[in-house]
Amino acid sequence: MLYTLAVYCIAPLVPLYLLWRARRQPEYARGWGERYGWCYGTARRSQATRRIWLHAVSLGETRAAQPLVDAFLAEQPHAHIILTHTTPTGRAAGQSLFAGYLADGRMTQVYVPYDLPDVLARFLRRFAPTDCWLMETEVWPNMIAACAQRGIAVSLLNGRLSDKTLQKTLKNSFIAQLAREAYGQLARVCAQSEADGSRYRQIGVAESALCVTGNVKFDMVQDAALVAQGEILAESVGARKAVLMASTREGEEAAWLAAVKHRPLEGVLWWLVPRHPQRFDEVKQLLQQAGFVGERLLLKTQLDAMDGVAKTAALQAADVVLGNTMGEMPAYYAAVDVVMMGGAWLPHGGQNFLEPMALGKPTVVGAHTHNFTQAADDAVAAQALIQMADLDAGLQATRSLLDDDGGLGRRAKAFVAAHQGAVRRTLEIVA
């Protein structure tokens, strides 16, 4: 197969890519053996009858998988899950979210094997999964073929496929044929929406394999302890209003600084949380260059080291708090009055705005929400979410929300609650 030959040709360059990524995120220099199907340490095949290979690429997919995993293991406590990731960020999230399952032996966590027949064969021999569940978008031809050859049913869960991706795939006859062969071997595709389902039909998913189950991100449960932590922070701020720029991506912090300079929100305490931890230092330097120095800039890690009195004084003196911690988004959401969700102010596809909405936080997003197209369209139509064309307009909307959100927070919370149930529908099909 030409695809396999191409992957083998690229394979010698992969270590160079990993070393390049390791410059900013040292974790990329670790775990190489796992990526090639070797060096799994003490990880062995579970004796459980049901062994699920669950692949969650990075942070977003891992967090989305949590309600599925919790519900599945509650129903089948003797099953075992082999959890794989592509990125160190996803792996770190998995270690935190699933610490209990990793400790009691119901879960094994390793990097996903590269999409090469011999590498996949080593992984499958080692862990012998009985099922394979892929989260959202990860469809790799050799992975699916290797599972099919061994009678392992592969299911795509919480599946989404944008029209842009579909058209790009179908434009090239070779890629289109490769995709149709891969998607055609999927035992189940649980799509987020009817529109996703229609696109899956066009790319080769069999009608008998296709179900529309909804978006499991509506079912995500926020950590109550973190929410309580955020509420305490909000009390420390006092009467001052607070706004969160959440899960920002490359270029958005600079765009935000320019927009704030043009349209300042006087007296507001800003919280800024970059999406990826390897960018914390970069964003800190950007803020300092913009004049946020001394007590004007506060790091979350500094805040965590303070007692109550010092914390209150620091928050009241600061202009920006840089959220340089991982796994604490519920605390950040709970600490503020309005959330401006990152990832959608530039063409990154958007981040999960359903999380702050579930807490009743008035939420504003940009125009680029193609990772959440259906959810964004439905939320805007229900007047539960505000979508603006750019950051300048987003700040204007935020100013209005700080004065009076007009019930947006209540509608947001009700909207999320009304769309829950995807986890149950998905497990009825695959579990």
Which residues lie across from 135 on neighbouring strands? 157
- Looking up tokens 């909207």, which residue turns up? 415
Determine whether 194 is an active site residue: no
Q: Which of 61, 252, 253, 355 is catalytic?
A: 61
User: What are the structure tokens assigned to 83, written together?
Assistant: 């959890």
Q: How far apart are CA 23 and CA 96, in angstroms?
A: 24
Q: How far apart are CA 155 and CA 187, in angstroms?
A: 6
Closest CA to 109 of 99, 118, 119: 99
- Looking up tokens 């992975």, which residue turns up? 143
SS (H, E, C) the chain: CHHHHHHHHHHHHHHHHHHHHHCCCHHHHCCHHHHCCCCCCCCCCCCCCCEEEEECCCHHHHHHHHHHHHHHHHHCCCCEEEEEECCHHHHHHHHHHCHHHHHHCCEEEEECCCCCHHHHHHHHHHHCCCEEEEECCCCCHHHHHHHHHCCCEEEEEEECCCHHHHHHHHHCHHHHHHHHHHHHCCCEEEECCHHHHHHHHHCCCCHHHEEECCCHHHHCCCCHHHHHHHHHHHHHHCCCCEEEEEEECCCHHHHHHHHHHHCCCCCCEEEEEECCHHHHHHHHHHHHHCCCCHHHEEEHHHHHCCCHHHHHHHHHHCCEEECCCCCCHHHHHHCCCEEEECCCCCCCCCCCCHHHHHCCCCEEECCCCHHHHHHHHHHHHCCCCEECCCHHHHHHHHHHHHHCCCCHHHHHHHHHHHCCCHHHHHHHHHC
Question: Which sequence positions are flagged as catalytic?
Answer: 61
